[in-house]
Structure formats: structure tokens, C-alpha cells
Chain A
Amino acid sequence: MPSLNPSFTPINWEQATPDTLLERIAEAKIVGMGGAGFPTAEKIALAQKHPPNFVIANGMETDPGVNADKVLLERHLDDVLTGLRIVAKILSAVQSFVAIAHERTVQDAQSLLIDNETVRYLKPTFQNGAERELIQILTGHVVKDNSFPAFDGCLVLNVHTLFAIAEAIAGKPLTKRLVTVNDETRWIDIGTPVEEILESRDPIRVGCYATGKRPRANEVLTAKVNAISNDKSVRALPCIHCGWCDEACPRELPVESLFVLAEQLKPNLDVQDALNRCNDCGACVIACPSNIHLLDHVRALRQRNDTERERISRATQARIRFDAREQRLRSDAMSSDAKRSERMQQQHKWQ
């Protein structure tokens, strides 16, 4: 059982072994703070098995109106870089990258870099912020749709995760994070009920307006949430078919058609490919002049499709089971017939 003691002893990371560092990251229960919430120690261990390794610090804050990454990089750039170096040391990474969407921070970072580290300014667009796209831009490597970045040795970690790693190694557990609450970014304790963070009569979204979801009952702030926002979509107007959502989609999906299908409130397995390719970036939500939360509709359609596929697969399983049983009964009946006739013949012999 890992220690529940919130205060760790500081580790000197430059002298510690990779295993000690990885153990500490696992012990500190650090998860991906860019939104995935995937256990970071497991992710690093996965990438470790597939050298050569590249580490990328993702400071590409593309959620509209969110400043958590920017504020963190302004205040704690050195800690983030320390976190990056710790991960690079664990993996003995070939090259480390820092991708930042704020020009001023890039200049600050430039002076702090060492040998195999590169800092890149990228425009804050959805194409640049997503994991696979970022890997392609920085390393030129294309991660296949059916693979994962870690299997190709690429490790993309959010700057908040790196900061948390640096803190954990220095002996401080992860208890709070920077959250943008309607334009204002501040430190908030993890575990605070979201309704207490943003008190308003209007509904709120956990996350930025575009990608966030409505909170569940009694939901609390988790480490992966970077913003709490007001929900504009409650005052949505009708769709005017302007096509701006289709135009905005970085993966060129037919967003408007998906919306039309989602409004029918039934599953549609023909568009499953499009639903799989959607990476929930929320560009369509930002583009919509009528404030329709298109991502909600896409997610709902995806949910309905999942249920439908589950139902179909259960029905298929039941069919297979039923057929097998019929087969078995038939063969049993046949074999018992055969046995009986055999018995009869034997009886004849006795007589």
C-alpha cells in the first residue's frame, strides 16, 4: 500500500535512479492534467518500453478563454522545465520539446534551455494543440490511428503534469492546480465542489465552455480540469445552416450533418467513423453563431451509438449461444437415438 502521508521527503533528482523517480511519480498519484487524467507513471513506463524516446511539454492552450497554462508558465517556468528534465532522465530521452502558444513565455524559456531541448512557438489552433498533431509538427513522426503515441516512444505531457512531477520530486504532493474561472485564473484545491467554485444561477460547465461538460451531481474539482465556465448554450438560437461549424472543424468532419442526425435522438452507425475521428476539440462550438453546443450533440450521438453497438453485440452473442444450444440438443437427440437402437439390437441378441 502506497504511503498516504501527504509529505514526501525531497529527492535530489539529478542523483536519483530513474526507478526511484518513477516510483515517486506513481506514489504521488499524478495523472495527466491536460484533460486525459491518465496515470502519468503508467504512461511513462509504457513509453520506456519503446525507445528511442521523445518528450514533449504541451503548453498549447487551445481551449478558448482558458489561461491556466499561460499563468503557470509565467510564474513557474523553471519548475516546468525541471519536470521535463526529470521525465527526460527517466526515459533517457533523445530530445525534449516545449511547445508554447504564448510568445513572451517562449522568449523566457529560450534562455533557460540546455542541450537537447527545443522550445517552439506554435499558433494556438486546435491543429497544433492535439497530441498526435503536436508530435507530427515537432518530430515529423506520424502516429497511426490504431496506435498510441507511447507505443512509438513519444510522450506528450501537459505543463501542469510536469509541474506536479517537479513538485512531487521536491517533496510536495499534488493538492491544488491553476483553474480559469470565467477569465480569472487562480489556484484551487483539488476536491472543491464545482458549484462552490463558480456560483451562478446559470448552468456551468466543467472545463472551458466549448469542451466542458455539465457537472454531475456533487461533482468535485479533479486534477485534469483546467477551467470552470458559464454555459452559453442555454440561450441557443436555431441552427441557420451557415456551415461555419464544418468550416471550423480541424478534422473536416460534416459537423452540421452530425448535428442534424443527433437531433433525431436515434443511433446512426453509418457515421461512426466520423464520430471516432472527432477529438472533442470544440472548434465547432466556438464557431456556431447560434451558440448551439454541437459537441454535446456529437457526444450524445456517440453515446447512443455505443449503446446500440452494445445491444447488437449482445443480440449476436445470444444468437450464437442459441444456435450452439440447438446444435447440441440435436446432436444429443441423435446420439441418444443411436444409443437406443444399439441397445435394442443388443436386446435382440439376448433374446
Chain B
Amino acid sequence: MAVTDRPKFQTTGIMVHVVIALLPGLGVSAWFLGPKMLLVVLISILVAVATEAIGTRSVLTLRDGSAVVTGMLIGLCLPPSVAIWVPIVASVSAITLGKLLFGGLGKNLFNPAMVGYALVLIAFPMQLVYLDGLTGATALDVLKHHERESLDQLVNHPAFGLVGSKHFEWMNLAFLVGGLYLVLLRIVPWLIPLSVLLGIAVPALVFFPLGDAMHSFGSPWFHLFAGGTMLTAFFIATDPVTSPSTKLPQIMYGFFVGSVAFFIRCFGTWADGFAFAILLANAFLPLLEPKKVALDK
């Protein structure tokens, strides 16, 4: 009996579909960055699941599948060159600090995966630099640190690909495909990824003509297909627990995430700013969508 036009999903089913949608991105990442990527992701998932089981002293809480998704997202954010203890630290802190301390799934204020990732990003920055021998550094690092080169030199730098960052543009494309799968299933509200992408593309469109050889800001296409743009837009910003569920707040939230990430990329210390953009937007969520917080009367 058709009651609503939305296909019926269970929470566990949602998580299964998210994992399926992440698989193409994972495959392309492993292809370009080496099979160690798979190991990092696997360790992140196992540690996240184990932490949740130990933290709640129950295997029943695992059936929603959220720990698997959290672990998978952390693994995908980390470069394959990290030491093995980095994903372990990230996953443990993501599940404990990001989720269990708040009271478990549904009660957390911040995206658990981003809590874990931001923690290791601040604590061990040298571990998280992409050093795979192929590109030396990602295009985002080049953009930030090679300010003395001319624009032509910059674009011809080996770290740059066709439109975005070399290799990363293909990973972004794979995440875009997986993300569109979730949007078509209506698991993910289409407004959030769209406004995240607009949030990064519109400032880039404004700032790109202002840039010169000394300080390029990168074209909109570059920003859309570099770093973790698509992964964030479709998989991280759309976490139902920490994102708005009504239309206008969704637009504001997405635009906030995208533009903050752009300004961190261009003017901040960090190569990619999505982790901090997401955490900042999470903190603003009660302002963006007041009904989402418990009305205490």
C-alpha cells in the first residue's frame, strides 16, 4: 500500500546502501593510492566496530551499522601512507568522543567520523600528508605552498590533473557516482550535496579572477574535483543525525560547509578544510534548525 512516495528503508538498510555507495570511491582510491588504502579502511572499520561494542558493552547496538560507516569514512579520509596506529586512534576517538559520550547514535552533536579525523589531523599533521611517491603532494598542497611559481607552471605541476587534483579527480568522480546513487534512492536529501558544491564553487568563481601567479585561488572545477569535496558533499555532510532535515536550513548548512572549506583551503593553514567546516557547521546546527534540539520546557 503506497502511503508515501518514499521507498521504505530501515536504518540498517540506509547504512548498507551508504556502504555500497562508498565502494566505487574506495575501489578507485585503492587503484590510484595503492592497496594499502584497503588495509587502512579495514582497520578503521574493525576498530570502530570493536570500540562501539566495548563502549556499549553490547553487540546489539552494532545492528544499526553506523559504526561501520563511521569507520569506513575515517579510512577514506586518511592517506594510505599513515602509520597503522593513526586509523586506530582516529576510530577510537570518533566512536568514544564523537558518539558514545553524547549518548550513542542519534544524540551526537558532531559528525563522529570528522571528530576522529580532525583529532588526528591536529595531533599528527605530518602523518596525514599524502606522500605516495607518485605525486609528491596533492594539488591542494601545491596550491598552498608554491606561491612563487607562475600560473602556467602551477597548472602544469605534476600534482594537477585534467580539471582537479591528479588521481583525486577520479576518486571524486567515483564518490559523485556513489552519491548520486544515494540521492536517487532518496536516502540522501539532494539539497545538502547541491548546496555544499555550490558553497565551494560560488566563492571559487568569485575569487578565481582575483588570483594571480603569486597567489592562485583555483578554479571552481578544480575545487569541485580536488581533495575530499564529493566525499564530504554526499557522504559526510548528509549524516542525518548532524544535518538539518528541512529545506531552508539544509541550504544554509550546505552553503556554510562548502564556503568555509573554500576559505580554509585558500587562506587557512590546512590543505583541505572540510573536516573543520563540517564540525563548525555541526556546532551551528541548533541555530540553523532550532527544532532539532530538545525543546527543554
Contact = CB atoms under 8 A, between A and B. Distances in A.
Interface of A: 61-66, 123-126, 237-244, 246-248, 254, 256-257, 260-261, 264, 268, 270, 283, 286-287, 289-291
A290 B295 contact: no
Residue from the set A63, A240, A244 with the largest chain B CB neighbour count within 10 Å = A240
A283 B241 CA distance: 21
A155 B2 CA distance: 26
Contact of A289 (B1, B14, B104, B297): B14
Contacts of B4: 125, 247-248, 283, 286-287
A126 B104 CA distance: 34
B105 interface: yes
Given A240-B240, A242-B245, A61 B1 contact: yes
A289 B9 contact: yes
B240 A241 contact: yes
Nearest to B186: A244
A270 B297 contact: yes
B58 to A, nearest CB: 13
B291 A125 contact: no
A290 B240 contact: no
19 contacts: A62-B3, A124-B2, A125-B4, A126-B3, A237-B10, A237-B105, A238-B106, A240-B11, A240-B105, A241-B240, A243-B244, A254-B291, A256-B292, A286-B8, A287-B3, A287-B6, A289-B9, A290-B11, A290-B64
B150 interface: no
Contacts of B292: 241, 256
A207 to B, nearest CB: 14
Contacts of B1: 61-66, 124
A123 B2 CA distance: 8
Contacts of B291: 254, 256-257
B295 A261 contact: yes
Contact of B240 (A61, A242, A287, A291): A242
A33 B245 CA distance: 38
Contacts of B240: 240-243
B3 A125 contact: yes
A131 B63 CA distance: 40
A289 B295 contact: no
Nearest to A283: B3
Interface string B283-297: 000000001101111
Residue from the set A125, A126, A242, A286 with the largest chain B CB neighbour count within 10 Å = A242
B153 interface: no
Contacts of B106: 238-241
Interface residues of A: mostly helix, strand, loop or mixed?
loop
A247 B296 CA distance: 23
B16 to A, nearest CB: 12
Given A238-B106, A289-B9, A125 B2 contact: yes
Nearest to B103: A238
B250 to A, nearest CB: 9
Contacts of A247: 4, 6, 245
Residue from the set A63, A125, A283, A289 with the largest chain B CB neighbour count within 10 Å = A289
Nearest to B5: A125
A237 B14 CA distance: 13
Nearest to B246: A243
A65 B105 CA distance: 30
A64 B4 CA distance: 10
B109 to A, nearest CB: 11
A237 B12 contact: yes
Given A63-B1, A240-B11, 10 more contacts: A64-B1, A124-B2, A124-B3, A237-B11, A240-B241, A261-B295, A261-B297, A270-B297, A286-B3, A290-B64
Contacts of A260: 294-295
A66 B1 CA distance: 8
Nearest to B285: A241
B11 A246 contact: no
B10 A264 contact: no
B241 A241 contact: yes
A62 B295 CA distance: 32
Nearest to B4: A248
Contacts of B107: 238
